[in-house]
Amino acid sequence: MNTERARLLLTCADRPGVVAAVTQLLYEQGANVVDSHQHTEPDDLRFFMRLEFDLPGLESRLPLLERAMEPVAERFGLQWRLTPAARVKRMALFVSKQDHCLQELLWLWKKGELAAHIPLVVSNHADAREVVAPFGIPLHHVPVTAETKVSAEAATLELMREHQVDLIVLARYMQILSGDFITRFGGPIINIHHSFLPAFVGANPYAQAHTRGVKLIGATAHYVTAELDAGPIIEQDVHRVGHRNAVEELVRIGRRVERTVLARAVAWHLEDRVLPHGNKTVVFA
Ligand SMILES: Nc1nc2c(c(=O)[nH]1)N[C@@H](CN(C=O)c1ccc(C(=O)N[C@@H](CCC(=O)O)C(=O)O)cc1)CN2
Active-site option among 35, 127, 180, 229: 229
Whether the predicted pLDDT of 1 surpasses 90: no
Read off φ and ψ for residue 207, nearest 5 degrees. Answer: -65, -40
For a substitution probing ligand 1, which of 124, 178, 182, 228 has the most ligand atoms within 8 Å of its CB?
228
Q: How would you classify residue 164: left for phi > 0, otherwise alpha for psi between -120 and 50, otherwise beta?
A: left
pLDDT at 168: 99
Statement: the pTM of the whole predicted model exceeds 0.90: yes
Amino acid at site 117: H
pLDDT at 2: 82
Domains of the chain (ranges, CATH numbers): 5-84 (3.30.70.260), 89-283 (3.40.50.170)
Q: How far is the CA of 32 from the centre of ligand 1 (A)?
A: 45
Amino acid at site 274: V
Establish whether residue 203 lines the binding site of ligand 1, counting it when its CB lies within 6 angstroms of any ligand atom: yes
Beta pairing, strands 121-123 & 46-54 = unpaired
pLDDT at 3: 85
ipTM score assigned to the predicted complex: 0.92
For a substitution probing ligand 1, which of 169, 176, 208 has the most ligand atoms within 8 Å of its CB?
176
**How many Å apart are CA 67 and CA 77, to the nearest integer?**
15
- Tell me if residue 237 is catalytic: no
Establish whether residue 208 lines the binding site of ligand 1, counting it when its CB lies within 6 angstroms of any ligand atom: no
Average confidence score pLDDT of the chain: 97
